[in-house]
Amino acid sequence: MSLQRLVGHNIWKFDLPYLIRSSVYNRVKIPPYLLPFGGKFQRFENYSIDTMNLIGAGEWGYLLKLETASMACGMSYGKTGSGKNFYKMPRKEQEEYLRQDLLMTEYLYNNIAESFGYEYEPIIFDIETCPKTEGQIEMIAPKFDPENVATGNLKDPEKIQAKIDNAETNHIRSLQDKAGLHAHYSQPCAIGYIVKGKVELDFNEPKELLTRFWSIVSEVWGNNQEQL
């Protein structure tokens, strides 16, 4: 049996930190041996592979969209929507979008594994998030500060004030628009997996999603420890 690795794109900088924070907010237990320390995510490397990190080839701060990387490897299709609007999609479109993300990740990883000589058994995963309601975000969001509004080259006091007023009106809505990137403003609403070539899409409640995720990761960790 090959060593297993949890595989995803940009998971060291987004998915795994997001899931850790979301677990804290939802009071979901995380096995201590799966936590990173020192801010360098060294322990993530013990059970996971980040395709973003590998395709970056050691270049500091390298970023490349999953769709671009997978199509550069020869995949014949890309995404049909935007993750930002995932929560607005009908369930059928959500399932297709998440499935596409998983298949693109798998395709990219297979190319990397062939080039790098990896023989791991991959557990491909991807998460999707949904913003909390405006009311929930407003309860924890920082107060609107007019000093933070960039007025650029505006000189007319009335135009400046109008811009500030507009920013204040849309303060919470603008936070909600980007909420999916922040665990305190959003919740995980789906996690997809590819295990032994089989796609599985989980659309459970956040707490159940998180509990199952850490259970799967614990199993990966345990299986690897038995072989070392």
Evaluate whether 3 touches 121 at the Cβ level (below 8 Å): yes
pTM score: 0.88
Among 28-32, 99-103, 172-176, 191-195, the range scoring the smallest mean pLDDT is 172-176
What is the percent of the chain where pLDDT is above 90?
Answer: 60
* Cα-based torsion angle of the residue sequence 114, 98, 216, 8 in order, rounded to the nearest 10 degrees: 40
Going from the C-alpha of 181 to that of each of 46, 105, 131, 213, the distances in angstroms are: 25, 19, 9, 19
The more confident residue out of 69 and 175 is: 69
Measured CA angle at 176 (ends 172, 180), to 5 deg: 155
Distance CA 127, CA 15 (A): 7
Q: Fill in the DSSP letter of residue 18.
A: H
Distance CA 73, CA 217 (A): 28
Among 93-97, 123-127, 145-149, the range scoring the smallest mean pLDDT is 145-149
Distance CA 194, CA 123 (A): 6
